[in-house]
Chain A
Amino acid sequence: MSHISPEVEKKLGLAVEKMPAFPKSVQKVLELTRNINCLPRELVGVIEKDPVMTVKILKVINSAAFALPNKMTSVNQAVVFLGLNTIKNMALSFAAVGILPRMNTAGFDVQRYLMHSLTVASIARKLASQQVTGDVDPGDCYIAGLLHDFGKVVFAQFMPDEFSAALAYCQEKQVPLHVAEEAVIGADHTVVGSMLAARWQFPTPLVECIRDHHKESGHSAMGDCLRMADQICRYRQFGDSGNPYRVGEAVIAPQRFGDDLDAVIASLGDLDHFVAEAQSFALVGTE
């Protein structure tokens, strides 16, 4: 069982406060909020595409300070409870922290990470609503997709030397990135991501889903949707979040989705618009 030292845990936990958001969302939030009549749904649409802003908002509203009766898992829920103006001002304060650089010092491409997270999020939501209706909330699957690799951005931002070594190890030994992280850092991004999600008081199923997404078995319906979406993104090469390790064609959760990967992909219909949307959000504003 991998674990991280209390010192590193503390360092990473505090670090997220200082983490900048993604260029496109910062730019769009500033642009939209200059207009007093900006459409609430447009603002939500921007915030929910940025893992950093989403995390920061959910972290604040789920905090013990307010003791909400139920944990919040979506930006829309946050707007219903706290009102658009509060969410708008929170987003503006996060925008003021700055923007994540396109490539950070660890050599991690944050745009590709975002592209991957957004595409996995959209596909996981679609899988949940189309194929496992009733078992799982599609909105939670979206958040799971958006945040499943969040540990990598935290590593890249706050432990750049160690993470850079893990990225090199993964290329050199031809192993998956999480194996390389475990070997080099002593814990992989699932441990860090789930540790942070737990600290932010996210609901337990979401924390477990982030923690277990590289495990072979024992997955919830949400976990299966996430892993299936991840597999589809890799197979179709929609972005790889820094992990070049290729996946096989054997469906990751055949008991739920059947055993023909191409058939699962075909059943989702046209995925190009998800990809195009994620691409434009991830890449614009970086030049």
Chain B
Amino acid sequence: MKIRFWGVRGSIASPGPHTARYGGNTTCIEVRSDAGELIIFDGGTGIFPLAQSLLKQLPVSANVFITHTHWDHIQGLPFFTPLYIPGNRVRIHGAYDFVSGSGIEQVMNVQLQYSYFPVREAELRAAIEYQTLTIGEAVVLGDATVTNMLLNHPVTNFGYRVDCNGKSMFFSGDHEPWTNIYAAGDADFDEYQAMIDARQAEMEAFLKGVDVLVMDCSYTTAEYPSKVGWGHGTFDGSLELAYRVGAKKLVCTHHEPTRSDEELEKVFADLLTRVPANGPEVVLAREGMEIEW
């Protein structure tokens, strides 16, 4: 199994000298199963350089899984070049949207509107299929199985787990650990706490023993109090999660767009001082980084 990171930035693409080493593209992760099945998590701007690399391997059969439909996870999709080439097959998976009442098929047609993009959806020449997933639905792709879990973000967000010949990885998409909306002492506090504790336990059971855990680590613990409800996690929260579920490796991603490479490394060095002796290996996601095992 192999993972390659093509986009590791959160919120907005942030190119420039300050982000040159870790990269400024928004989320896109390529996963290859042992047998070579192509699984792509999210279509942020990082999907464009991935598309360039795929042009050497035509025809392409790609399985795209969208964690959620915020711009930084979908805005590269219209530039996914294999969509324009006959003979390619692209299947796009994602969640149902409760507010619009639409399935994942809207991810392309909202972007390919006349005022915003010159190509119409009907003009894409690859065989494109949309598969709206229900919670926990497993998708079998050759030797790999992709399952989802509903996480916590301001729009429906699926975290995805890939299992392949006893190896496994998980990508959170964007996720903020559940917090109680009531204050201690409020009538509904205990009931609400029980519900979020159950969600947390369900998540940890879902992640149990995963080899590589790729998590949204947008903020530091110090930054988090002013970002509650924005839908993102912290470095330390992800480390604690990785430790509890027995993950072998934690990859911190969704780097904050204003955080320079130097600042990112400083925050990360600080985090490393808190990794327990028997804890996971912890790395920062970087464009071009590959993990193979």
Contact = CB atoms under 8 A, between A and B. Distances in A.
Interface of A: 39-41, 44, 60-61, 65-69, 76-77, 79-86, 89-90, 93, 139
17 contacts: A39-B181, A41-B183, A60-B98, A65-B101, A65-B103, A65-B132, A66-B135, A67-B134, A80-B178, A80-B196, A83-B154, A83-B155, A84-B154, A85-B231, A86-B156, A90-B98, A93-B99
A284 B170 CA distance: 50
Contacts of A44: 181
A86 B98 contact: yes
Nearest to B95: A66
Contacts of A40: 181, 229
Nearest to A61: B98
Nearest to A90: B99
Interface in B123-140: 132, 134-137
Interface string B182-197: 1100101001100110
Nearest to A42: B181
Contacts of A65: 96, 101, 103, 132, 134
Contacts of A76: 181, 188, 191-192, 195
B150 interface: yes
Cβ-closest 8 pairs across A and B: A85-B154, A40-B181, A67-B134, A89-B99, A80-B195, A41-B181, A65-B96, A41-B182
A67 B229 CA distance: 25
A66 B182 contact: no
Contact of A81 (B150, B154, B192): B150
A41 B180 CA distance: 9
A89 B101 CA distance: 12
A67 B95 CA distance: 11
Contacts of A79: 181
Contacts of B67: none
Contacts of B196: 80
A77 to B, nearest CB: 6
Given A77-B195, A80-B178, A86 B99 contact: yes
Given A41-B186, A66-B134, A84 B181 contact: yes
A44 B182 CA distance: 10
Contact of A86 (B135, B154, B178): B154
Interface string B163-190: 0000000000000001001110010100
A81 B203 CA distance: 12
Given A66-B98, A67-B134, A81-B150, 13 more contacts: A41-B186, A66-B134, A67-B135, A67-B137, A69-B136, A77-B195, A80-B199, A81-B199, A82-B98, A85-B154, A86-B99, A86-B154, A89-B99
Contacts of B178: 80
A167 to B, nearest CB: 35
A41 B199 CA distance: 19
Interface string B69-99: 0000000000000000000000000001011
Contacts of B254: none
